[in-house]
């Protein structure tokens, strides 16, 4: 399936999976302008586990949103396998994000009217993958994250840790090359947070997926291949 990017000449192992070049992002709040990112340069290799640290307001979430195509930089470039994602049309960008990027949020963002299984299936159903195969893959993923008995439960029937497990399974359903996780253990107690991190890192290693986690946790950062510190919108 095409997502608007020709990877035939740019997908060698030597090519970084993701590159940010001189990325700036400013938001306007009333009459005030808030410079969140101020010239970020970053390369992320295939299969890498990168932890992004920094105080609240340092720009971690904003950078993750830009890396995942949820927002675009004011200036600078975000490239995936050498291709600038700003050049994609809105529809091509949405398709690239769905197929290539798995997103995990602190607040889970599950659809309350759908069951755990339906939530996991949703990204694959949006690109019209085979229904039976999608359901089989979703059942396997939910079982892998310890929710084999929770397929038909809706989010309000699940604990916070269980909802985050559903979110992890949903992020992996299209077998993405990149997972972006924004404080995935931030709303959980320490024991549950450790379990979630173990599930996420184990699945990443098994699939050789690139993982970028924004986190305040030193325990999370200690397991990463590399740690990047953001200070006042710049990489320290």
pLDDT of residue 50: 96
Pairing mode, strands 178-182 and 101-104: parallel
Span 73-118, pLDDT tens digits: 999 999 999 999 999 999 999 999 999 999 999 889 999 999 999 9
Q: Please report, for the chain, the start and end positions of each structural domain, with discontinuous segments joined by +.
A: 49-70+89-227
C-alpha 74/C-alpha 76 separation (Å) is 7
CATH for 49-70+89-227 is 3.40.50.300
Span 220-234, pLDDT tens digits: 889 899 999 999 889
| Cα angle, residue 87 at apex, residues 83 and 90 outer, rounded to 5° | 120
Task: Calculate the alpha carbon distances from 201 to 90, 166, 168, 213 in Å.
Answer: 31, 15, 11, 11
| The model scores a pTM over 0.85 | yes
Please, are residues 36 and 233 in contact by the beta-carbon 8 Å criterion? yes
């Amino acid at each position: 399936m095409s997502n608007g990017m020709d990877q035939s000449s740019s997908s060698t192992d030597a090519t970084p999976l993701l590159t940010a070049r001189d990325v700036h992002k400013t938001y306007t709040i009333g009459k005030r302008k808030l410079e969140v990112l101020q010239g970020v340069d970053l390369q992320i290799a295939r299969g890498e586990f990168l932890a992004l640290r920094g105080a609240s307001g340092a720009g971690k979430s904003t950078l993750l949103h830009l890396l995942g195509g949820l927002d675009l930089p004011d200036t600078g470039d975000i490239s995936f396998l050498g291709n600038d994602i700003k050049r994609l049309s809105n529809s091509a960008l949405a398709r690239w994000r769905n197929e290539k990027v798995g997103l995990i949020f602190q607040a889970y963002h599950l659809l309350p009217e759908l069951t755990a299984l339906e939530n996991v299936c949703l990204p694959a159903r949006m690109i019209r993958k085979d229904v039976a195969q999608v359901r089989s893959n979703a059942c396997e993923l939910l079982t892998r994250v310890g929710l084999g008995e929770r397929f038909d439960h809706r989010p309000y029937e699940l604990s916070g840790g269980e909802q985050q497990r559903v979110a992890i399974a949903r992020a992996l359903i299209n077998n993405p090359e990149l997972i972006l996780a924004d404080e995935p253990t931030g709303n959980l107690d320490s024991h549950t947070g450790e379990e979630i991190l173990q599930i996420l890192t184990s699945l990443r290693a098994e699939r050789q997926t690139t993982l970028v986690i924004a986190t305040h946790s030193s325990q999370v950062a200690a397991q990463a291949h590399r740690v990047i510190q953001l200070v006042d919108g710049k990489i320290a």
